[in-house]
A and B are shown apart, each in its own frame.
Chain A
Amino acid sequence: MRGLATFWFRFRRNRAAVVGAAVLFVVVLAAIFGPWFYPVDPFDMVGRPYTVPLDQFPLGTDVAGRDILAGILHGARISLLIGLLASLAATIVGVTFGAIAGYYGGRIDDLLMRTTEFFLTIPSFVLAVVLVAIFQPSVTTVTVAIAVVSWPSVARLARGEFIAHRDREYVQGCRAIGMPDWEIILLQIMPNALPPVIVVASLMVATAILTESGLSFLGLSDPNLVSWGYMIGVARTALRTAWWMAAIPGLMIVITVLAINLIGEGLNDALNPKLRK
């Protein structure tokens, strides 16, 4: 409990992070309850196409006469969901690999380093595009593709942390009393290695949202769901006549990603106080 209080105290000192958290909170609220308060199907042709914002509909209609506000609210769900799930998956995989490689070293470590090098040499967005195109765009494939291209950086970080910790006295002590490896990894080193990983993972959510929007923009998104990147793609053909159609979902992405990055900074301050200058 005291740890949490310290964490909050430190986090709160970064005012930007608090603002970021507040903004993200609103976005999350909108994503969860928005469609309930504003029950319009984002795919329904509700009015004439190209109506301007603040006229008949709060944010106007898109090229097919669909309510943009409804799209923004439903899109928030998909963008956040994919961002969170992909980062979570990448973190779990990355930490697992990184922990094992860092703790055991030697051959296993070599193999892991080759594997991450392998993934870091393939341009990540290109790989994501290829994966989604081959396995058909859906929420699952997009999430998996983003996770696949994101985990190596987490693995490298976790590996570094584990290498730094594996020969510390407390670890040697655990070994001396015959604690099994998995227990040392999970219960002893992990809590110490996790803070920087959490920071990176939180920033990864932001990158994942950006990647998702880029894929959607290329037409590689679940055809049954609205996401913000998809909305920009739809609006692109109308850029000359109705620039706001592309501007609105884009602004939502910027705001959300910015909020998450601010939180990431705050987490960094709170969790890695020694790094703070």
Chain B
Amino acid sequence: MSKATLVFVLRRLLQVIPVVLAIAAFNFLLLKLAPGDAADIIAGQMGHATVEFTQQLRREFGLDLPLWEQFLVYMTRLLVFDLGVSHLQGLPVIDLILARLPATLILMITAIFIAVLVGIVLGVAAARRQGTLADNLISTLALVVYAIPAFWLGLMLIVLFSIQLDILPSGGMVSIGAGHTGLAHVLDVAWHLVLPAVTLGLFYVAVYTRLMRASMLEVYGLDFIATARAKGLSEGKIAWTHAARNALLPVATLCGVQLGHLLGGSILVETVFGWPGLGRLVFDALLQRDLNLLLGILFVSSVVVVIANLVVDLLYGLLDPRIVHK
């Protein structure tokens, strides 16, 4: 990493810290508007519980303090990356998040990988054959896929592949009780990953196909392609080495921006497939008013998005040598 790049990264980090802190504060105040708290939920789960019991829980959780004091406690802890303890599970929030984060990351990364890979191939293919039947077919398909709600697609894939054909698992991440280890375990997870990853990724396949196609067409209009053609380079080589590299820029940008979007989509997909990831945990924590856990997940996801954007900025430099970080 060059010194200029390092300075750039540090400057960007300094810029985003206030944004992340503002989000944390916003989340805290927003969630405080929710009716009921974790003490109510636990008392409710107990069947009949006395007022004293609920109050005792609030004391334990620090929910009896005045709002500003709770806010100060929260923000102070956040500055040292202490996310607190889950009210319902009694475990450090960071442990709970780390336990679920890998599942979500596997799902998201696989989905985005499928999307980018397939999207680029289809987008380039369509652009090269602009106006032909193949182009029209790809473009139309992309449009249709773009219109499908992911959760519904998931349900339909379950109907087809799990219920009718019975060839793929309908949910979960591993075959429990099978006790696979090593390679068998990896294959087992991969097997369970197929439907959720396709469900989550297909929408983005459409996005990237369209984007890549448009971007390619734009690049095709530039001078250096004509130069390359004049040099007598083959069309395939021009498409993949010259045009695609430049057309990738908007795709890379979008990848970063859409990470947050992807995390939102994973709530639905994880619900449909019972995938033990963060998306589902967010929803459960919200319904259980597990404030610390919920704030922790939202904080971590904001940080992940910020980091992803930063990585994209850096990638930009790699993909397009014209950009120099000042």
Contact = CB atoms under 8 A, between A and B. Distances in A.
The short answer to whether A and B are in direct contact, CB under 8 Å, is yes
Interface of A: 16, 114, 117-118, 120-126, 128-131, 133-135, 206, 210, 213-214, 217-218, 229, 232, 236, 239-240, 243, 246-247, 250, 253-255, 257-258, 261-262, 265, 277
Given A218-B267, A236-B155, A258-B144, A133 B34 contact: yes
Interface string B236-247: 000000000000
Contacts of A265: 143
Given A123-B261, A126-B282, A218-B267, A239 B159 contact: yes
Interface in B103-121: none
Q: How large is the interface on B (under 10, 10 to 19, 20 to 34, 35 or more residues)?
A: 35 or more
A277 B149 contact: no
Interface in B1-56: 16, 18-20, 22-23, 26-27, 30-31, 33-35
Contacts of A126: 260, 263-264, 267, 282, 298, 301
Given A118-B23, A126-B264, A243-B163, A250 B31 contact: no
Given A240-B163, A253-B148, A265-B143, 19 more contacts: A120-B257, A123-B305, A125-B265, A126-B298, A130-B30, A130-B31, A133-B287, A206-B147, A217-B152, A218-B268, A229-B149, A232-B149, A232-B152, A239-B158, A250-B148, A250-B155, A254-B147, A257-B146, A277-B218
B156 A254 contact: no
A117 B33 CA distance: 23
Contacts of B221: 277
Nearest to B220: A277
A130 B27 CA distance: 10
B283 A129 contact: yes
Contacts of A213: 149, 151-152
B22 A118 contact: yes
A250 B154 CA distance: 11
B253 interface: no
A79 to B, nearest CB: 11
Nearest to B294: A130
A123 B155 contact: no
Contacts of B150: 214
A155 to B, nearest CB: 15
A246 B154 CA distance: 11
Contact of A243 (B20, B159, B282): B159
Contact of B301 (A123, A131, A217, A257): A123
Contacts of B156: 243, 246-247, 250
B63 interface: no
Nearest to A134: B34
Given A236-B155, A243-B159, A243-B163, A121 B147 contact: no
Interface of B: 16, 18-20, 22-23, 26-27, 30-31, 33-35, 130, 140, 143-144, 146-152, 155-156, 158-159, 163, 214, 217-218, 221, 257, 260-261, 263-265, 267-268, 271, 282-283, 286-287, 298, 301-302, 305-306
29 contacts: A114-B19, A117-B19, A121-B305, A122-B302, A126-B264, A126-B267, A129-B282, A130-B30, A130-B31, A130-B286, A134-B31, A134-B33, A135-B33, A206-B147, A213-B151, A214-B149, A218-B283, A246-B155, A246-B159, A250-B148, A250-B155, A253-B147, A253-B152, A254-B144, A255-B147, A257-B148, A261-B146, A277-B214, A277-B218
Contacts of A129: 264, 267, 282-283, 286
Contacts of B306: 121
B273 to A, nearest CB: 12
Contacts of B26: 118, 122
Nearest to B214: A277
